[in-house]
Homo-oligomer: A and B are copies of this chain.
Amino acid sequence: MIVQKYKDMLQGKSVIRQLSEFAAARGQEIGYENVFDFSLGNPSVPVPQEFTDVMIRMLQEKNPMELHGYSQSLGIPSVRDKVAASLNRRFGMNYTGNHIFMTTGAAGAIAHAVRCVAEPGDEVLTFAPYFPEYAPYINLTGAVLKVVPADTENFQINFEAFEEMLTEKVAAVLINTPNNPSGMAYSTETVKELARIMEEKQKQYGHDIFLISDEPYREIVFAGVDAPYPSAFYDNSLSCYSFSKSLSLPGERIGYVAVNPKCTDAEIISVMCSQISRGTGHNCPPSIIQLAVAEVLDLTSDLTVYETNMNILYRELTDLGFECVRPGGTFYMFPKSPEPDAAAFAEKAKKYDLILVPSDSFGVKGYFRIAYCIDTEKVERSLEAFRKLMKENY
């Protein structure tokens, strides 16, 4: 029989996808260049030329059996070593290749990290606002996602609510900094306090509580912003990374889990991930992509456009009276809706060909997300639409 659980999931339709489909349909009518589509978090700048060059060079020069051969399910050893060295160089860590498990993107990383540390029925906490896919990502492992209410003041952490929810049932805490959708990075102060509370509770309960840090936006941090590497502050940390945003490679599904060397059982967690992968069907990310990213680990796409866009939008929207915490990174911002019903606001915005995502599916009411990973020229043209939207409705 067809499994009902997954059949039932077909009913739910993502708000973001619906909006993106609306934008595409509207584009058919008036030209997509005239639709201010801020719905999707797709990188808008190309991969570094060095990546393309190294791919071509390998295809031209390498023995194809070696190039396309099986990699170990943990990832190619030389690639894991290079990832470890790069993280050590940049964040003062002490990883070896043994602490790195190569994955098909951050989704793959989270799927394996959670299964390592959470039994079915265990709770995993995350913080609103949060990436809506966390719910199926976590719940389909058998663990249970619980959402700590937002700190809507600064989109840091609502520590009072966190401490209350950090019960003995919690196996892991899932953070996302810089954050989708708020655009905020946790400050050093925030990360330190998070670590302090988790350490205290570990002692109190007598069991590990793991920090699973989802970091696809790690490299998109704006000038002067304090955005520390969380694992440096908490031993039981599993960092989940994806090159999707930093190298503009979202379709190539490449990332990793980096296990803090001071973590409980640090030496075996990556090997456990490779056992888990036998059940998830993951096995390993494609060899050629592993080898290519290993050659450009310290490069990124030209990410400056995101900060340029943020500055333009932040200035204009605050001028128009929007309340908004200034993003510290990513390519998102998360202003307060001018009316309490964010969905009603987003519906009105559509009339001005402004495609904005209401905040409800991110676990907060009354905000909206702007994904400004689009050309600056289009961002500038969108300002008039924002002005009209506000003038004619609020």
Contact = CB atoms under 8 A, between A and B. Distances in A.
B56 A283 contact: no
Contact of A64 (B46, B65, B107, B171): B46
B108 A251 contact: no
B119 A3 contact: yes
A129 interface: no
Given A1-B207, A116-B3, A284 B253 contact: yes
Contact of A42 (B69, B286, B289): B69
B42 A68 contact: no
Most interface-central of A65, A119, A171 (chain B CB within 10 A): A65
A282 B279 contact: no
Contact of A2 (B45, B269, B278): B269
Interface string A249-261: 1111110000000
Contact of A278 (B55, B137, B285): B137
A364 interface: no
Contact of A44 (B59, B65, B67): B65
Contacts of A253: 283-286
Nearest to A17: B72
Contact of A264 (B2, B6, B283, B287): B2
Nearest to A207: B1
How many chain A residues sit at the interface, stated as a range, is 35 or more
A60 interface: yes
A47 B64 contact: yes
A141 interface: yes
A237 to B, nearest CB: 14
A275 interface: yes
A7 interface: yes
Contacts of A60: 52, 56
A30 B18 CA distance: 63
Contacts of A119: 1, 3
Interface in A61-75: 63-65, 67-71
Contacts of A45: 65
B265 A7 contact: yes
Nearest to A110: B281
A16 interface: no
Contact of A10 (B107, B133, B248, B275): B275
A254 B119 CA distance: 30
A68 B251 contact: yes
Given A133-B278, A136-B275, A251 B71 contact: yes
A127 to B, nearest CB: 20
A104 B69 CA distance: 14
Interface string A109-153: 111100111110000000000000100110111000000000000
Contacts of A103: 281
Contacts of A10: 268, 271-272, 275
A272 B2 CA distance: 9
Nearest to A12: B275
Interface string A144-187: 00000000000000000000000000010000000000000000
Contacts of A46: 63-65
A44 B280 CA distance: 28
A280 B278 contact: no
A87 interface: no
Contacts of A279: 111, 136-137, 139-141
Q: Which 9 A-B pairs have the closest CB atoms?
A: A140-B279, A111-B281, A251-B287, A108-B281, A136-B278, A280-B280, A46-B64, A9-B275, A6-B272
14 contacts: A1-B208, A3-B115, A10-B271, A42-B70, A52-B59, A52-B64, A55-B55, A59-B59, A104-B281, A107-B283, A136-B275, A140-B280, A251-B286, A253-B285
